[in-house]
């Protein structure tokens, strides 16, 4: 079966002919038992294939140049048992030195290895020791999320130019108000809209409600009025919220990215590192800056699994820090003219033999 699948045209068979059976068994476990998305399972496949290819190099089964063509199907349980923590450190070091992978990328690949060896050790009991148990994550540089200011957000909404204006205005309005992820937006169905909420289908098949602001309701009303007149929507996509004007099919994640990129360019905001995901950061930052949302409420609104992920937005809001500094009673004491008295001339020589006066 094909080794490639994606979220648009998924191949439900997650078996890959170029990795060992134990990796394939784990990928089935991830997709079927753990309930992760096919895209997540595919990402694990890529990371595990890369690791075991390099492990074959470390164990002298092939050269580094032959790594990508090495037949990993010959790797047996004895080989997997021979993997040590040092092998994993060597792999992470290679990623840093030869591939210039950032700490976040190395940590993501380490997470895939942890999942596999945890499965082999505790789920199917084929290993006695987990070589990842003593391997720590690389320290990541603290990077604050990039976001649009309130003025830039209005500038973006004011400069949307499209042959399907109502749809594209609605998409960007939902991003900026609800803070939803790209995949969550493209998965929205008409049946998910209930009163003033939208049921979002997020990571790990988790569901949450996005609460619609008056701006969202207004944008949806204008878009749905036009969508109801479309006659080219196929039966399979009748329930899809956002559809193509040309084909009537559900919009793909890449098409939504193109819509956002084009709108940013029209608004004069391209080249600043803004993207679809940055609109999610914008919604989160502006909500937190309002002072009406605390970090726990923001965690639920964004669908984060851990509050530690949400806390990065508390570092973005410098407004509160500014108010805190200005709260000092000395913050309003302005420059004073020097007192009109005799002042020691600092250029006069000082007698160093003269003792200090008590």
Alpha-carbon gap, residue 286 to 316, rounded angstroms: 10
Alpha-carbon gap, residue 167 to 217, rounded angstroms: 13
Q: Based on C-alpha coordinates, what's the Rg of the chain?
A: 28
Contact 215, 177 (CB under 8 A): yes
Question: Is 208 among the catalytic positions?
Answer: no
What does DSSP assign to residue 306?
S
Tokens of 180: 């939803």
Determine which one of 28, 108, 203, 255 is catalytic: 203
Alpha-carbon gap, residue 10 to 337, rounded angstroms: 75
Alpha-carbon gap, residue 168 to 227, rounded angstroms: 12
Determine which one of 16, 106, 109, 181 is catalytic: 181
Tokens of 71: 């037949």
Map residue 199 onto helix, strand or coil. strand
Question: Is 181 among the catalytic positions?
Answer: yes
Percentages of the chain per state (helix, strand, coil), in multiples of 5 = 50, 5, 45
Question: Is 313 among the catalytic positions?
Answer: yes
Map residue 29 onto helix, strand or coil. helix
Tokens of 264: 């940013």
Residue 240 sits at the vertex; the CA angle it makes with 30 and 217, to the nearest 5 degrees, is 115
Determine which one of 49, 278, 280, 299 is catalytic: 280
**Quick one: which of 201, 251, 210 has its CA closest to 227?**
251
Determine which one of 108, 118, 222, 304 is catalytic: 304
Q: What is the DSSP string of 165-184?
A: HHHHHHHHHHHHHH---HHH
Residue 286, CA atoms < 13 Å, CB-side half-sphere: 19
N-to-C CA span, the chain? 92
Determine which one of 114, 118, 201, 277 is catalytic: 277
Contact 56, 67 (CB under 8 A): yes
Question: Is 304 among the catalytic positions?
Answer: yes
Catalytic positions, written as ranges: 181, 203, 277, 280, 304, 313
């Amino acid at each position: 079966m094909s080794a490639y699948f994606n979220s648009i045209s998924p191949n439900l068979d997650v078996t890959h002919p170029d990795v060992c059976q134990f990796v394939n068994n784990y990928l089935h476990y991830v997709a079927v038992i753990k309930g992760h998305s096919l895209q997540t399972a595919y990402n694990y496949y890529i990371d595990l294939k890369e690791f075991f290819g390099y492990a074959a190099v470390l164990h002298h089964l092939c050269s580094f140049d032959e790594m990508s063509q090495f037949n990993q199907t010959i790797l047996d349980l004895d080989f997997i048992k021979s993997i040590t923590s040092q092998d994993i450190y060597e792999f992470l070091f290679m990623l840093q030195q030869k591939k210039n992978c950032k700490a976040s990328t190395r940590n993501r690949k380490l997470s895939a290895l942890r999942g596999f060896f945890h499965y082999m050790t505790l789920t199917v009991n084929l290993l006695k020791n987990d070589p990842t148990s003593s391997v720590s994550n690389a320290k990541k540089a603290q990077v604050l999320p990039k976001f649009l200011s309130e003025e830039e957000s209005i500038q973006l909404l004011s400069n949307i130019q499209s042959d399907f204006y109502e749809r594209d205005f609605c998409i960007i309005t939902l991003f900026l108000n609800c803070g939803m992820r790209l995949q969550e937006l493209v998965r929205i169905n008409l049946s998910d809209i209930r009163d003033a909420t939208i049921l979002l289908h997020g990571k790990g098949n988790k569901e949450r409600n996005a609460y619609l602001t008056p701006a969202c309701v207004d944008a949806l009303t204008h878009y749905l009025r036009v969508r109801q007149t479309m006659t080219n929507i196929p039966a399979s996509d009748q329930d899809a919220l956002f559809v193509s004007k040309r084909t009537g099919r559900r919009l793909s994640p890449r098409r939504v990215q193109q819509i956002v990129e084009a709108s940013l360019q029209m608004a004069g905001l391209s080249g600043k590192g803004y993207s679809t995901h940055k609109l999610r950061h914008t919604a989160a930052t502006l909500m937190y800056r309002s002072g009406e949302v605390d970090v726990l409420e923001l965690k639920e609104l964004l669908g984060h699994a851990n509050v530690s992920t949400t806390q990065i937005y508390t570092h973005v809001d410098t407004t509160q820090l500014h108010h805190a500094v200005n709260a000092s009673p000395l913050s309003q004491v302005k420059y004073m003219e020097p007192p009109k008295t005799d002042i020691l001339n600092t250029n006069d020589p000082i007698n160093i033999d003269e003792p200090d006066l008590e």
